[in-house]
C-alpha cells in the first residue's frame, strides 16, 4: 500500500515537472526573438529555474547594450541597487554581504523603504478611484560574463522575484485588503503591469584608474607655454 502511494506521488511529480517544462518552452518560443527587453526580465522572474535561463540572461544583456546602453545608465540610477555575486551562498546587496536565502526579505524591505518611496507622482490604483505613491526602486544584477555561476544566479533571481511578489501583496493588502493571489485575474495582471519585475541585469565593468600624465618637463622657454590649473 505504502509503495503504491509513493509510486503515485512519483508519477504525479513527474507529470507536473513535464507540464512545467512544456510551459517554460512555450513561453520561451514566444519571446525568443523579441526586441522588448522587458519580455526577458518577466520571463526570468517567472521561470528562474527554466532550462532557457542562461539564454534569456544573454538575450537581455544583448538588448541592453543595443537599446539603452544600460551598463552606463542602470547601475547609476538614483534608487538602483546593484547585486554582485560572491560565492554560491552569498551576494553583495547594497554593498553588504548578504546570504542569498535572505534576499526575499531584503528586497521587500528595500522596496518599502522611505527613500525609494519619495516620488511625488501618484499612480492610479487599478479598479479604484484612488491614487498612490509607488516604490521607484530597481534591482540590477551585475554579470561578469567571464565568470558566471548560473546556479547561484538562478537562486538569486528566484529570491529577489519572491521579494517583489511580497511587495505586490503588501500593496494589494493596502489597496483591497486582499493578497495578490486572492484578486481576480484581470486585477492581478494590472497590478503586475503597474509594478513590473523591478529586476534587471548589467555587465560587470572593472574600473581601471587612468594612467598618470607624463612627467612635467622643465625645459619650456616661453611663459606662454605654461598652463595654470586651478583646483
The answer to whether the pTM exceeds 0.85 is no
Residues linked to residue 141 through DSSP beta bridges, in sequence order: 83, 201
Quick check: 191 and 171 in contact, CB under 8 A?
Answer: yes
For residues 135 and 41, what is the distance between their CA atoms, to the nearest angstrom? 18
User: Is 222 among the domain residues?
Assistant: no
> How is residue 105 written as a grid cell?
526579505
Helix (H, G, I), strand (E, B) or coil at 95: coil
User: Is 8 among the domain residues?
Assistant: no
pLDDT at 86: 84
Helical residues (DSSP H) of the chain, grouped into ranges: 2-31, 37-46, 53-67, 70-73, 103-112, 150-176, 185-195
User: Is 211 among the domain residues?
Assistant: no
User: Is 172 among the domain residues?
Assistant: yes
User: Is 72 among the domain residues?
Assistant: yes
- Residue 44 CA from chain centroid, whole number: 9
| Average pLDDT of every residue of the chain | 79
pLDDT at 199: 93
Dump pLDDT digits (tens) for 26-83: 999 999 999 999 999 999 999 999 999 999 999 999 998 876 554 444 444 555 778 8
Give the side-chain half-sphere CA count within 13 A for 10.
6
User: Is 221 among the domain residues?
Assistant: no
> How is residue 210 written as a grid cell?
587612468
Helical residues (DSSP H) of 99-149, grouped into ranges: 103-112
User: Is 137 among the domain residues?
Assistant: yes
| Count: domains in the chain | 1
Range of the structural domain that residue 110 is part of: 34-205
Angstrom CA distances, 148 to 159, 203, 226, stand at 18, 11, 50
Average pLDDT of the segment spanning 221-225: 44
User: Is 57 among the domain residues?
Assistant: yes
Angstrom CA distances, 185 to 98, 121, 182, 215, stand at 35, 26, 9, 69
- Which pLDDT band, with edges at 50, 70 and 90, does 87 fall under? confident
Phi (first) and psi of residue 223, to 5 degrees: -65, -20
Angstrom CA distances, 88 to 139, 198, 206, stand at 19, 23, 21
> How is residue 4 written as a grid cell?
503504491
Q: Is the model's pLDDT at 231 over the cut of 50?
A: no
Residues linked to residue 131 through DSSP beta bridges, in sequence order: 124
Could you identify the residue written with the cell 554582485?
84
Amino acid at each position: 500500500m505504502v509503495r503504491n502511494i509513493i509510486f503515485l506521488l512519483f508519477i504525479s511529480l513527474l507529470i507536473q515537472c513535464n507540464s512545467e517544462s512544456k510551459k517554460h518552452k512555450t513561453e520561451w518560443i514566444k519571446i525568443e526573438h523579441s526586441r522588448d527587453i522587458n519580455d526577458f526580465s518577466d520571463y526570468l522572474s517567472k521561470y528562474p529555474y527554466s532550462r532557457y535561463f542562461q539564454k534569456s540572461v544573454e538575450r537581455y544583456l544583448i538588448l541592453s547594450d543595443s537599446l539603452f546602453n544600460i551598463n552606463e545608465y542602470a547601475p547609476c540610477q538614483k534608487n538602483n541597487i546593484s547585486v554582485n555575486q560572491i560565492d554560491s551562498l552569498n551576494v553583495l546587496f547594497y554593498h553588504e554581504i548578504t546570504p542569498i536565502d535572505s534576499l526575499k526579505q531584503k528586497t521587500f524591505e528595500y522596496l518599502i523603504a522611505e527613500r525609494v518611496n519619495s516620488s511625488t507622482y501618484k499612480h492610479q490604483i487599478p479598479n479604484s478611484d484612488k491614487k498612490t505613491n509607488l516604490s521607484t526602486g530597481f534591482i540590477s544584477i551585475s554579470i561578469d560574463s567571464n565568470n558566471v555561476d548560473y546556479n547561484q544566479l538562478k537562486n538569486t533571481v528566484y529570491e529577489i522575484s519572491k521579494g517583489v511578489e511580497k511587495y505586490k501583496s503588501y500593496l494589494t493588502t493596502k489597496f483591497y485588503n486582499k493578497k495578490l493571489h486572492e484578486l481576480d485575474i484581470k486585477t492581478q495582471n494590472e497590478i503586475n503591469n503597474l509594478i513590473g519585475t523591478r529586476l534587471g541585469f548589467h555587465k560587470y565593468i572593472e574600473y581601471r584608474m587612468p594612467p598618470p600624465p607624463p612627467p612635467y618637463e622643465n625645459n619650456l622657454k616661453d611663459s606662454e607655454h605654461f598652463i595654470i590649473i586651478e583646483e
